[in-house]
Structure 1
Amino acid sequence: MVKPLYARLQATAQRLIAKFGQVGVVTRLTPPDPVIGGEPVATPYPATLVPMAYEDRYIDGTTIKTGDMQIYISSVGLAIEPTVGDFVTANGTDYAIVNGDPNKYDGVTAVIFIVQGRIAA
């Protein structure tokens, strides 16, 4: 059951991201069938998001590298939960998700997804 506090926080996050963010895409690669083989299938999911560069004080060269982006993704209307292995397209650049936090404070309601994106090679 969704608690009213988290539903309000989710609505506030959605409103702010819609106002200050941009339209992007979260792409999930589905691996090929292990028996039949084939190519991975890329499935795009439209999303509203805000990409922000990490402040210099957080860049340590191992966990967070220069060029990494902290990407806030609205959970409202997003059919999947972005996770490591997915890709986010923002500012015309593809970022591989290397770390993420679904922000499910009550264990059920995803208020917002915050992911660490690294430029995909």
Structure 2
Amino acid sequence: MANPIYARLQATAQRLIAKYGQAGTVKRITPPDPVYGGDPVVTSYPATLVPMAYEARYIDGSVILAGDVQIYISSFGLSITPQVGDHVVANGIEYSIVNMDPNNFDGVTNVVYICQARA
């Protein structure tokens, strides 16, 4: 059962990301059929997001690299859940998601997607 506090947190996150964020896209690449072959299919989903550089204290050189960015993606209205391997386009740069946290505390409501992305 959904906890109403997480719906309020989702609404707050959506409002802040809409105010301070930008329009971007989440691209999912579906591989070709293993039997019939073909080309990979790229599907783009519009999203509202905020890309931010990691603070220097978090960059350790193994898990978080110097060029990595943290991207907050609003879960409100996004028809997919971003996954590792998806691509995010922000500021005209395409990033690949290498780590993702859906902030799903009650198992029902995705509050905000926080992604570690690499160009």
**TM-score, normalised to structure 1's length?**
0.97
Q: What SS does structure 2 have at the residue aligned with 1:71?
A: strand
Q: Separation in 1 of the partners of 2:80 and 2:73? A: 11
Q: Which amino acid aligns with 2:68?
A: D
1:52 equivalent in structure 2? 52
Q: What SS does structure 1 have at the residue aligned with 2:100?
A: strand
Q: Separation in 2 of the partners of 1:16 and 1:27? A: 23
1:79 equivalent in structure 2? 79
1:21 equivalent in structure 2? 21
Q: Within 5 Å, which residues of 2 pair with 1:1-121?
A: 1-119=1-119
Q: Separation in 2 of the partners of 1:25 and 1:8? A: 24
Q: What SS does structure 2 have at the residue aligned with 1:10?
A: helix
Q: Separation in 2 of the partners of 1:109 and 1:61? A: 33
User: How big is the shift at 1:2?
Assistant: 2.5
1:30-81 per-position Cα deviation (integer Å, ceiling 9, x unaligned): 1110100011100000000000000001111110001100000000000000
User: How big is the shift at 1:3?
Assistant: 1.7
Runs of 4+ in 1 over 2 A off after TM superposition: none
Q: Separation in 1 of the partners of 2:39 and 2:91? A: 27
User: How big is the shift at 1:92?
Assistant: 0.7
Q: Which amino acid aligns with 2:21?
A: G
The count of aligned residue pairs is: 119
Q: Which amino acid aligns with 2:85?
A: G
Q: What SS does structure 1 have at the residue aligned with 2:16?
A: helix
Unaligned 5+ runs, structure 1: none
